Structure 1
Amino acid sequence: MDVASDPRIGLMRLLWWQEAIDKIFSNKLIEHPVAQALASVLHDHRISKIWLRRSVEARINDAKRDVTDIPKTVGELEQYAEDTISTIFYSTLQAGGIKSTVADHAASHIGKASGLLLLLKSLPYHANRNCHFRYIPIKVAEKHGLLVNEGGQLAVQIDSREGLRDAVFEMASVANSHLQKARELAGTVPAEARPVLLPAVPTQVILDTLNRVQFDVFDPKLTRGVLGVPPLWFQLKLKWHSWRGKY
C-alpha cells in the first residue's frame, strides 16, 4: 500500500495476490515471475494455503479501512500482527518440515511482538501521511489524553508528547510480554525451529531502542542504522544468537 501512488492501486495489487494464491493452489499457470517462484516453493514444501491467504486478507481488510477507523483495543492490533507476521513464521516452520506445537506457540508470540513494535516505529510515517495516528487504539489513546472528537469522528492527536510516550510504552509493554513468553518456551522448542524464530532478535532491538529514547517515536535515533543500532552491531547480535541456538 505504501509504495502505490494511489491507495486504490495498492488495494488492487493486494486483491491480485489474493486471486494469484487461489490460482497457485488450483495449479493454474500465472505469467508472473514472483508468483511462479512462489508456486514452486509451495509445491516443493507443501505449504498450507491458509497461512498465505490469511496474511493477504488481513492486509486487504486493513487497506479498506478509512484512516479515521481506529482499532478499539490493543487486542485488535495483536490479531493483525498474528495474521500478517506470525503466519509467515508458521509457513516457514512448515516449509522446514517442523511440526511442533511449542514452536508454533513461540512463533505466534514473536509475530505479535514484532508486529506491534513495527506499527509503533511507523507511527510518525503514518501520521505525516494521513495526519492521524491510526494504529493507537481508542482505549489506549483515551487513557493517555490523546483522543479527540473531530465533528463527531474520533481521532488520535498529539496534545501531549508525554501522553504519546505513555501510550507507546503501554503498547510496547504488551509486545515485551509476548517476547518474554516466547523465550520462556525456548527450552522446549526443537533445535531445528530456533533459526525460524530469530526475528525475535530485531524485535528486541526495536524494543531496546524505544527504551533508550524513552518511547519517543519521533526521536531521530530510531531511524539510524538498522532499527536504531549500527549495522555491524545488528549483524553481530544475529550471529551471536544464531551461534548459541537462541532467539
Structure 2
Amino acid sequence: MPAESRTSAFALRAFNVELAQVKDSITQKTTGLMRMQFWREAVEDIYCDNPPHQPVATELWKAVKRHKLTKMWFMKIIDEREKNLDDRAYRNIQELEAYAENTQSALLYLTLEMLGVRDIHADHAASHIGKAQGIVTCLRATPYHSTRQKVFLPMDICMLARSFSKKVPVKAYPAFFCTVALEDYLSNIQKVDFNIFHPSLQKKNTLLPLHLYIRSWKKRY
C-alpha cells in the first residue's frame, strides 16, 4: 500500500476509534451527544475545506481531499454510533447487523474508496465482512458488557463474504485482511464449545501478524 494510502488508512482508523471510545468514556449521554455533534460538524467543515484544529480531523481532511471520499459513509458511522449511546441490548440479529453495516461496513466502503476500488463484488464483500466483524466484536465484548448476552455467531455471514472472493479485485484485498482476526476468534470459540466467557478467548494470538503477512503474500482474504 502506498505511503499516502497508509496515512489515509490511519486517519480512517483514528476517526473510528474516536467515535467508538465515546460510549465507554462518558458517564452521561448528554456528553456523548455533544461529542457526536462535534464530529458531525467536523465532517461538514472538512467537506467545506475548513477542518477544525484537531489532529484526527486534519488528517481526515487530507484523506478526503486525496481520495474524494464519500461524506455519506462518515455520517452513517456518526449517526449509528450516536444511536448506540443508549447502551441497550440488541433486540435481534437484524438490529445488530444494521449497526455493523452502518459502522464497520461503512468504514470498509471508505477504505475501498481510499484504495481506488469501485466494484460491486468488493462492496458486497465489504457489507458481509463488516457485519461479521460487528457481530464478533459484540461477542468478544460480552464478558465485559454482561447485559449483551442475546447474540448469535455470524458463521453464515462469514461464509457468504468468502463466496465473493473470486470476483473481488485483488486491489481491494487490503481492506479485508481483518478477516484473519475474525477467523482466529471464531476458530478459538469453537474449540471451547462456544463458551464466550472462556478465559482463553481474552488472550491475544501472537501469531496473528504472521498469519496476516502470509495471507497478504498469498493475495487472499
Output the TM-score relative to the length of structure 1: 0.76
* Counterparts of 2:141 and 2:51, CA distance in 1: 37
* 1:3 to partner: Cα distance: 4.1
**Counterpart mapping for 1:1-247 below 5 A:** 1-8=22-29, 9-63=31-85, 65=86, 67=87, 69-127=88-146, 132-133=147-148, 136=150, 171-172=152-153, 175-225=154-204, 229=205, 231=206, 233-247=207-221
* 1:16 to partner: Cα distance: 1.2
Structure 1 residues not aligned, in runs of 5+: 137-167
* Structure 1 stretches of 4+ moved >4 Å: none
In the alignment, is the contact (CA less than 8 A) between 2:129 and 2:176 conserved in 1? yes
* Counterparts of 1:197 and 1:27, CA distance in 2: 30
In the alignment, is the contact (CA less than 8 A) between 2:77 and 2:106 conserved in 1? yes
Q: Which residue of 2 aligns with 1:155?
A: none
* Counterparts of 1:13 and 1:206, CA distance in 2: 32
* Counterparts of 1:234 and 1:207, CA distance in 2: 14
The amino acid that maps onto 2:183 is: Q
* 1:58 to partner: Cα distance: 0.3
In the alignment, is the contact (CA less than 8 A) between 2:51 and 2:57 conserved in 1? no
* Counterparts of 1:96 and 1:188, CA distance in 2: 17
Please give the secondary structure, in 2, of the residue aligned with 1:125.
coil
* Counterparts of 1:114 and 1:91, CA distance in 2: 16
Structure 2 residues not aligned, in runs of 5+: 1-21
- Range 8-17 or range 109-118, more displaced: 8-17
The amino acid that maps onto 1:234 is: L
The amino acid that maps onto 2:70 is: S
Output the TM-score relative to the length of structure 2: 0.85
In the alignment, is the contact (CA less than 8 A) between 2:74 and 2:106 conserved in 1? yes
